[in-house]
Amino acid sequence: MNNPYIINTHSHVNMLKDTNIDSAIKNAQNSRIITIVPSSTAQDIFEVDSFIQKYNDLYGYVGVFPEEAKTFTDKTLNDMESIIRSNHKIIGIGEIGLDYYWDKSFIELQKEIFIKQIQFANQMNLPLNIHCRDAHFDTLDILKKYNKNSTAILHCFSGSLDFAKECIKEGIYIALGGVVTFKNAKKAKEVAQNIPIEYLLLETDDPYLTPVPYRGTENQPAYVSYVAQEIANLRNTTIDFIAAETTKNALKIFPKLSC
C-alpha cells in the first residue's frame, strides 16, 4: 500500500470466529489499514506464514508466545529462519515475552525462550513484538541485558505512565489498543495522553479487547480507528494527526511496509 492511513501493529485476524475473515480484511483495506499478524506457537508460525501470503496489506511476525513456551524446541529457530528467508512479509519476531498472570509454574522456561528469541531477532536484525503481563520488571530487565540491536514494541501496554517512561528511555515503543477506550482504564488513558508521540503505536489484538462502541462483540482490525480516535480525544487533537504520527513511527520500525 503506497499511502497507509493506519498501521495496526498486532491483530490475530486469522483467529476471528464470529466475523467473516475475508470481509474483516476488506474492511481494513478499505480504510487503508495495514495489519500485522503475530504467531503464538511453534506450529502456528507456519499457519501465519501461509495466511498472510493470501492477502494484500497483511504482514506477519513469527515467534512463540510465553504461555506456549513448552512448544518451543531446538528446531523452532530453524523453522523461523527459513520462513523469514522465504517470505518477505514476515517483518518481526512476536509475539514473545513473559506472562505471569495465568501460570507461574514455568517462569524460568518462559525467560529462557524469551531470551533465545531476542537473540535470534538480533541476528536477523528484526524488531520484537512483546507480550508482557504481570511481568513488567523482568521484561524490561531482560531487554536491557540481552537486546542488542532490535527495536522493541510492548504490545497491549498495561503498565503505568512511569513504567512507560522507563521503557521509552530504553528506546522501547508503546502500542495501545482497545483498552484505552474503556471507561475505567485510567492507567491506559494516562499513558495515551502523556507519552511522547514518537513512541506511540496502534493495534487491536483482535479478536480480543474490542474497543468502545463495539465492546461485547468480536474485535477486528479496522476497529483500530476507534483506538486512534480515543487517543486523539485524550490528546486534544485529530484522528488524522494520530494516524499520521503513528504510521510514521511504524514505518521507521518496519521499513518494508513503505514499499
| Residues 111, 210: Cα–Cα separation, whole Å | 29
Site string for Zn ion, 74-113 (x = CB under 5 A): ----------------------------------------
> What residues have CB less than 8 Å from 248, skipping those under 6 apart?
none
Identify which of residues 154 and 234 has a Cβ nearer to Zn ion in the complex: 154
Grid cell 479478536 is found at: 207
Q: What is the nearest approach in angstroms of Zn ion to the Cβ of residue 41? A: 12
Grid cell 487533537 is found at: 237
Which residue stretch of 115-123, 136-144, 175-183, 200-208 sits at the interface with Zn ion (rule: CB under 5 A)?
200-208
Q: Which residue is nearest to Zn ion (CB)?
A: 205
Identify which of residues 205 and 245 has a Cβ nearer to Zn ion in the complex: 205
The amino acid occupying position 230 is E
Identify which of residues 227 and 239 has a Cβ nearer to Zn ion in the complex: 227
User: Each residue of 47-64: b (16+ CB within 10 Å) or e?
Assistant: bbbebbeebebbbbbbbb
Identify which of residues 12 and 111 has a Cβ nearer to Zn ion in the complex: 12
Q: What is the nearest approach in angstroms of Zn ion to the Cβ of residue 35? A: 12
# residues near Zn ion by CB under 5 A: 1
Which residue stretch of 1-9, 160-168, 189-197, 199-207 sits at the interface with Zn ion (rule: CB under 5 A)?
199-207
Sign of CA dihedral 234, 133, 253, 92: negative
Residues 201-240 that bind Zn ion (CB under 5 A): 205
Longest Cα–Cα distance of the chain, Å, equals 49
C-alpha cell at 220: 477486528
Give residues in contact with Zn ion (CB under 5 A). Answer: 205
